[in-house]
Amino acid sequence: MITPLTILGIESSCDDTAAAIVRGVPGQAAVASSVVSGQVDLHAGFGGVVPEIAARAHAEKLDIMVEQSLSAAGVTLGDLDAIAVTAGPGLIGGVLSGVMCAKGLAAATGLSLLGVNHLAGHALTPQLTDGLPFPYLMLLVSGGHCQFLLVRDHDNYTRLGGTIDDAPGEAFDKAARLLGLAQPGGPAIEAVATAGDPAGVGLPRPLLDRDDCNMSFSGLKTAILRARDDIMQDKGGLTARDQADLAASFQAAIADVLVQKTRRAVTVARSLDPALSRFSVAGGVAANGAIRAGLETVCADMGLEFTAPPLALCTDNAAMIAYAGLLRHASGESDDMTLSARPRWPLDAHSPGLLGSGKKGAKA
Ligand code: KG4
Ligand code: ZN
């Protein structure tokens, strides 16, 4: 019987400052507290995250978030077994702020320090929330990430493919701007799309003709811009019906690409692990009903169990970092004061790198 561990997690790699306490053992842990302070207002006027503003806000908020997470869980630093922190990938200033905070706490308390890959945090979340055993196939799909990962253990990931340009959330946000809808764009497009025809406007399905698991979403943004401009030129404006058709068609195009590529990814994953029987999705875009329904259908067709963590733990948070740290600590791993921030840190060092820079900065 392993003694339950109590781990503090710290996350500051993008535009959320977060801290959390997770308690338990590998495969059976619970979130004792999870607090997140977002920065949307700070960056609203700039059309994207400004790294310097983000880093300063993290440095100001980290101590407060850590204190709040401890008190919400009813524990003190003395009750902890280790401190886990996102050490990358992400914006260098933000990651550094978190790593320095964690090092300060580790030096003051003598607790073990654990550097965690942010993508590993996302990939391990279904095990934290639903006890999902390894191995499983994960689609991580958010404003900054889009990749298929075969997750075999806390330190064993194979990336089967991903976006070669924008992430889908980023594409939803840009398309919403083009249609005059509010941010974040995903929920706004989904709401308007309910009144539209998904086949109303012809949009491409990029890379579906390619027999791999890679995806591309930046061309869709140009395609919807053209479609919008054509309608406006013909009619002299955009009716609510046109807006709904454009939104529904755009959502259908993204859903089709994600769903078809998921089928492909399941086949590739099964060629590596024939007994694969579990699939999970994570990231903000997983909130989309049409996308989720499409993925559930693929899983039903292909005999896979479908899991989606609750949305608050799908989006950026520190509970996932604490749990990834718990798995590392339970395996006898730790870092020392030489732990450094790694703005680029691929989860799977064996697969070739894919992505450039999205709106949220350099992402693995
Ligand atoms: O994981 P997340 O909260 O943040 C990061 O990417 O860091 O994902 C946010 C993204 C945004 O781009 C947002 O537009 C998208 O997820 N999103 C959605 C929906 N809800 C959030 N996209 C499509 N449909 C939704 N219902
Ligand atoms: Zn993330």
Please report, for the chain, the start and end positions of each structural domain, with discontinuous segments joined by +: 5-132+312-362, 136-309
What separation in Å is there between the alpha carbon of 144 and the centre of ligand 2?
A: 7
Question: In this structure, which residue's CA is closest to atom 19 in ligand 1?
Answer: 186
Distance CA 349, CA 172 (A): 29
Query: Each residue of 140-190: pLDDT tens digit?
Result: 999 888 999 999 999 999 999 999 999 999 999 999 999 999 888 999 999
Proportion of the chain above pLDDT 70, given as a percent: 96
Proportion of the chain above pLDDT 90, given as a percent: 81
Which pLDDT band holds residue 193 (cuts at 50, 70, 90)?
A: very high
Helix (H) or strand (E) holding 312: helix 311-314
CATH number of 5-132+312-362, picked from 3.40.50.1980, 3.30.420.40, 3.40.50.2000, 3.90.550.10 = 3.30.420.40
* Token pair listed for 85: 């922190």
What separation in Å is there between the alpha carbon of 317 and the centre of ligand 1?
A: 14
Higher per-residue confidence, 184 vs 85? 85
Please give the pLDDT value at position 104: 97
* Token pair listed for 266: 């399941």
Neighbours of ion ligand 2 (CB under 5 A): 316
The three-state secondary structure class of 232 is: helix
Instruction: Report yes or no: 3 and 302 within 8 Å, Cβ to Cβ.
Output: no
* Token pair listed for 155: 């330190």
Distance CA 7, CA 242 (A): 51
What separation in Å is there between the alpha carbon of 315 and the centre of ligand 2?
A: 6
Which atom of ligand 1 is found nearest the CA of 172?
14
What separation in Å is there between the alpha carbon of 54 and the centre of ligand 1?
A: 19
Cα 250 from chain centroid? 21
Which pLDDT band holds residue 354 (cuts at 50, 70, 90)?
A: low
In this prediction, residues 10-14 reach a mean pLDDT of: 93
Fold match between 5-132+312-362 and 136-309?
Answer: yes
Nearest to 34 by CA among 10, 58, 14, 4: 10
Which pLDDT band holds residue 26 (cuts at 50, 70, 90)?
A: very high
* Token pair listed for 150: 């075969």
* Token pair listed for 294: 């499409």
Instruction: Report yes or no: 179 and 192 within 8 Å, Cβ to Cβ.
Output: yes
Mutate which of 285, 315, 317 for ligand 1? The one with the most ligand atoms within 8 Å of its CB, which is 285
What separation in Å is there between the alpha carbon of 118 and the centre of ligand 2?
A: 6
Residues in contact with ligand 1 (CB, 6 Å cut-off): 14, 142-144, 169-170, 172-173, 184-187, 190, 283-285, 287-288, 315-316
- Residue 62: count other Cβ atoms within 10 Å of its Cβ: 26
Which pLDDT band holds residue 1 (cuts at 50, 70, 90)?
A: low
Please give the pLDDT value at position 359: 41
Distance CA 5, CA 332 (A): 12
Confirm or reject CATH 3.30.980.20 for domain 136-309, answering yes or no: no
Question: In this structure, which residue's CA is closest to atom 14 in ligand 1?
Answer: 186
